[in-house]
Structure 1
Amino acid sequence: MPDKRSLLVISHPGHELRLYGWIDQVQPVICILTDGSGGEGVPRLDKTLDVLRALGAEIGPICGELSDRRIYEKILHHKYYLFDRLCKRLARLIVTYDIDIVVSDAMEGYNPTHDLCEVLVQAAVAIANKKKHPITRHYTFPLMGDPRQAARDGENAQTAPRAIARHTIELIPLQFKHKLETIRDYASSAGEKLQQEIEHAFHTYGEHAFACEYLFRAPVPKQALEQSFTQAKPFYETYGEKQVAAGRYQCVIRFREHILPLMNRLYARIPAALPADQQQ
């Protein structure tokens, strides 16, 4: 899709590494919702900006304005106006920049901010499509696990709510080499925890698992996303429960209590008369 005007929206600095090859080829506009400070309060935005500028990407007007702590606080207290504003800004950006394709984090139940990134973008795309032609298409990319498994799951509508249609980006050897070097360099500067996560992923799946990158057509709003968590708790709930038990957190962010109401609020912003194929 190099001839298309593209926008990448990610929730945290570092997610760009999963799409290193695509960014190198397409050089999209990139928006980042948080500064990547996490629970420790140490931002890692500057390192991400170095990576993106080296790849020739354009930094968008939404760039690391929020801390993770602030977002979690708003979610826990049902103070959703922050997300209303983000949705409006993204929709306006899509129209102003005449974006053809938006790529965002996928909703995987690992981190609530990752999940809300997909929902925010989906609502923003639908709002923007009411004002522009041709319409903008929305794709997501997997952040957790083996990306090849995400591609295989995407072929089976019974195991995943992702559409079968997707784009596969195969990295040439030199590009893949640079990607691995950049990932390891980024992790070493971000601290021991990220280094361990990266090396665990390479050891578990093999480095070659990251030689291809996958973009999935975003599912139709709400039902396809909500059904992912009807049978089992998302990871962030079980992880949060352990942190509360250990005395590190005071509250647990829960899908039905906190995330689902925000999803409903954002989807309510989608124009009612919009055709179904424009809500993707």
Structure 2
Amino acid sequence: MTGERAMLLIGHPGHELRLHHWLELERPTVCVLTDGSGGTGQGRIEYSRDCVARAGATTGPLFGHMADRDWYAALLARDPAPFVEAGDKIACAALTLGIGLIVSDARDGYNPMHDAACCLATMVVEGLSAQGQSVRRLTAPATGEALSAPVRELWLDSIARKRKEAAMARYAPLLQEIEQVREQGLDIGVERLYPDDAERSGKRSPAYEAYGSARVADGDYRSVIMAEAHYQPLMAEVRSRLFDLWGLPSVPERSAVV
């Protein structure tokens, strides 16, 4: 254990499985934005609640209280309200608990809620720093590979690996997805934490734009969430409102809306 109180902020329930042994060691406060229902309407947040509890961690004040489709609707409407509420709850909890480390999803361009979790974590750290609370900031990619070298690696022994395997096996809604990821070469025996690499997604169009366009063409979606039209201006507005809410002066943003 590092001795500092930690918080994990993820976009979707299930991402915590990638850091299962870290959960056991650090026992962080875990916050989850969505309920994991996707387009099915069937949430999986209770599986994450069970996973967090079994690992000895705790659930935070924000734990899957909104369905995926409601978050996506807010993104399309450029409605900052739910994001501001989420950011404020996370910041208040971090301040009250004396959090010294916030780990979040990394920006990956794969899903806007992954990027939003990363962006909100950065805003919270900036806000707390402006109030004199020093908070370290790290990320754990939910998909793909990180561009930077890890700043911490946890190598699981056979017993910790078996506990992680058991946690994955209990997470019924993700069994097929977990198997697909493992077939792609995921090594569950090592857990890595990375810097907040704002350039990870680069300047290219995020993958969620192409995915959304394909779903519109198939008739599954009516609209596509676009980075420049929706996500980026929304996150800029969220940041502005959060700093106003916290009574803090505007400071140069640290690639907060990449």
Query: Structure 1 length normalisation: TM-score?
Result: 0.83
Q: Distance in 1 between matches of 2:125 and 2:58?
A: 19
Whether 1:154 and 2:148 are equivalent positions in the alignment is yes
AA at the equivalent of 1:142: P
Q: Distance in 1 between matches of 2:252 and 2:218?
A: 48
Identity %: 34
1:196 pairs with 168, 171, 176, which one?
176
Q: Distance in 1 between matches of 2:126 and 2:231?
A: 20
Q: Secondary structure at the match of 2:47?
A: helix
Whether 1:172 and 2:152 are equivalent positions in the alignment is no
Match of 2:227 in 1: 255
Q: Show CA shifts across 1:47-93 (max 9, x none).
A: 11111111111111111111101100011011112211221221111
The answer to whether the Cα contact below 8 Å between 1:10 and 1:32 also exists between their aligned partners in 2 is yes
Q: Distance in 2 between matches of 1:197 and 1:21?
A: 20
Whether 1:228 and 2:201 are equivalent positions in the alignment is yes
- Count of residue pairs the alignment pairs up: 250
Of 266-275 and 254-263, deviating more is 266-275
AA at the equivalent of 1:171: L
Q: Distance in 1 between matches of 2:11 and 2:180?
A: 22
The answer to whether the Cα contact below 8 Å between 2:32 and 2:64 also exists between their aligned partners in 1 is yes
Q: Distance in 1 between matches of 2:252 and 2:116?
A: 23
CA positional deviation for 1:121: 1.0
CA positional deviation for 1:260: 0.9
AA at the equivalent of 2:154: I
Q: Distance in 2 between matches of 1:177 and 1:70?
A: 36
CA positional deviation for 1:98: 0.6
Aligned runs of 1:101-112 on 2, under 5 Å?
101-112=101-112
Query: Structure 2 length normalisation: TM-score?
Result: 0.89
AA at the equivalent of 1:4: E
The answer to whether the Cα contact below 8 Å between 1:109 and 1:234 also exists between their aligned partners in 2 is yes
* Structure 1 spans left out of the alignment, 5+ residues: 156-164
Whether 1:238 and 2:210 are equivalent positions in the alignment is yes
Match of 2:166 in 1: 181
Q: Distance in 2 between matches of 1:181 and 1:211?
A: 13
Match of 1:213 in 2: 191
The answer to whether the Cα contact below 8 Å between 1:95 and 1:131 also exists between their aligned partners in 2 is no
CA positional deviation for 1:197: 2.1
- Let me know the Cα RMSD of the aligned residues: 2.2
Q: Distance in 2 between matches of 1:46 and 1:228?
A: 30
Match of 1:31 in 2: 31
